[in-house]
Amino acid sequence: MRIDDAFKVVDDMKQCGLGPNSRTFDIILHHLVKARKTEEAYNVFKRMKSDFKCDPSVSTYEIIIRMFCNEGKVDIAMSVWEEMKGEGVLPGMHVFASLINALCRERKLEDGCKYFEEMLDMGIRPPTHMFNKLKQALVNEGKEDVVMMLTRRLEKLKTLLVVS
């Protein structure tokens, strides 16, 4: 994908009064991430807000956060997370899962647990495989007590979801 061609289409859209919107940028970002053009994707993300006055959606943030997590740049992913929350965009299960999985890989378990608890606080039920990775990482570090506490919190959430 040639980014210049993509921005020509975006400029043509603007001239016709057709946007662009966050979905337009999601498509561009998806292809840049797929081509492993991390820096270029992040620049497009920043430009969509500054040059095009287009607010990122939760999907846009997910693309960028997952990209940084997959590149092993978890600190940048967490920074984008904070920006997302500051803009009032609520994270979904997929954004949480990407960040928590990356934090487990980096052995930043305290942060991983913090985001896991935030996920539960929002009433979002985690995917089983993600919780299993977090539990295993905690067990490997000898933190069975934390596993028990998180398991109890998850069971409480499941009970609340069933009763509701």
Interval 108-147: pLDDT, tens: 999 999 999 999 999 999 999 999 999 999 999 999 999 9
| Residue labelled with tokens 């998850």 | 154
One-letter amino acid of 69: C
Comparing 14-23, 78-87, 148-157, the range with the smallest average pLDDT is: 14-23
- Rounded to an integer, the average pLDDT of 150-155 is 92
Average pLDDT of the residues of the chain: 91
- CB burial of residue 63 (10 Å; 0-12, 13-18, 19+): buried
Domain coordinates of the chain in residue numbers?
A: 1-91, 110-164
One-letter amino acid of 32: L
Q: Give the contacts of 51 (CB within 8 A, at least 6 positions apart).
A: none
Neighbours of 110 (CB within 10 A): 10
pLDDT at residue number 52: 84
In this predicted structure, the answer to whether residue 158 has a pLDDT above a threshold of 80 is no
**First-to-final CA distance of the chain:** 47
Measured distance CA(22)–CA(45) in Å, rounded: 10
- Rounded to an integer, the average pLDDT of 75-99 is 96
Nearest to 111 by CA among 124, 102, 120: 102
| Residue labelled with tokens 């596993």 | 147
In this predicted structure, the answer to whether residue 9 has a pLDDT above a threshold of 60 is yes
| Residue labelled with tokens 């089983």 | 128
Comparing 3-7, 57-61, 72-76, 142-146, the range with the smallest average pLDDT is: 3-7
Nearest to 134 by CA among 116, 156, 152: 116
In this predicted structure, the answer to whether residue 161 has a pLDDT above a threshold of 70 is no
Neighbours of 154 (CB within 10 A): 16
The residue that leads in pLDDT, 162 or 136, is 136
